[in-house]
Amino acid sequence: MKQQAFLKIIDPVKDKMYRLALRLLTSKEAAEDATQEVILKLWDRKDKLKHYANVEAFAMTVTKNYCLDQLKLKHNSHLKIVHQNYDSGSISAQRALEVKDELSWVDKILKELPEQQQMIFQLRDVEQYEFEEIAKIMDMNHTAIRVALSRARKKIRESLTKKHNYGIARN
């Protein structure tokens, strides 16, 4: 496989790889390094890529595994899993502050979830992956993914409802 053919395959997916790495590693520099390392690993295996039915799912799986390995290493012990908030520049300052506060609450809630639920939530609700793709990336069956996603959403919903109802008397 030549460089141009490899780039045609990797270019559409490298931003998603970066976002997943950023989600897992929390540091922009670490995410950039991870993305580059994964692309190098894929380049080393470029001749085998044509054998994969879904190269994007394979690339995301390699990215996930590389990032988890980095989190386990001692020299990266300062890294942790966290939800990355994305800013939108087209809303009012008041609404932006409300959104920022809401996202910080979601971030706190996500940190309390098990790692598996965090990753499934990231892949499905943030990255918009289909369940089949998540199943390949996470090496899980569809039912387990749906259950984990449902539990993650339920925990987020219950915690946010509790926060919003704080101080409101119920009769």
Point out the domain boundary residue: 80, 109, 137.
Answer: 80
Q: Are residues 150 and 128 in the same domain?
A: yes
Which structural domain, as residue segments, surrounds residue 159?
88-171
Residue 112 sits in the same domain as residue 129 = yes
Give CB contacts under 8 A, 24+ apart, made by 130-138: 133/54, 133/56, 133/57, 133/60, 136/54, 136/57, 136/58, 136/61, 137/57, 137/60, 137/61, 137/64, 138/64
Final residue of a structural domain among 80, 114, 146: 80
117 token code pair:
């639920």
Burial of 152 (0-12, 13-18, 19+ CB in 10 A): buried
Task: Choose among 111, 84, 113, 112: nearest CA to 21.
Answer: 84
How far apart CA 15 and CA 20 sit, in angstroms, is 9
What pLDDT, on the 0 to 100 scale, is given for residue 130?
92
Coil vs helix vs strand at 169? coil
Q: What is the CATH number of the domain that holds 116?
A: 1.10.10.10
Q: Locate all alpha helices (DSSP H) within the chain, ordered by sequence.
A: 3-25, 28-44, 55-72, 93-112, 115-121, 131-138, 142-164
Number of domains the chain is built from: 2
User: Which tokens belong to 101?
Assistant: 């506060």
The pLDDT of residue 134 is: 93
Q: Check which CATH number belongs to the domain holding 17 and give it.
A: 1.10.1740.10
pLDDT at 152: 93
Give the span between the Cα atoms of 150 and 107, in whole angstroms: 17
Do 70 and 134 have their domain in common?
Answer: no
What sign has the CA pseudo-torsion 69, 74, 76, 79?
Answer: positive
pLDDT tens sequence across 51-79 = 888 888 889 999 999 988 888 875 555 55
If asked whether residues 13 and 29 sit together in one domain, one would say yes
In tens digits, what is the pLDDT along the chain, a chain of 171 residues? 688 888 888 888 989 999 999 888 878 898 999 999 999 999 888 888 878 888 888 899 999 999 888 888 755 555 555 544 554 445 677 777 888 888 888 888 988 999 999 999 989 988 899 999 999 999 999 999 999 999 999 999 999 888 877 766 555
Q: What is the pLDDT of residue 23?
A: 86
Residues 31 and 108 in one domain: no
Longest dimension (CA), the chain: 70
What are the Cα distances from residue 145, in Å, to 35, 65, 99, 104, 154?
25, 18, 28, 25, 14
Q: Give pTM, 2 decimals.
A: 0.51
The predicted pLDDT at position 113 comes to 92
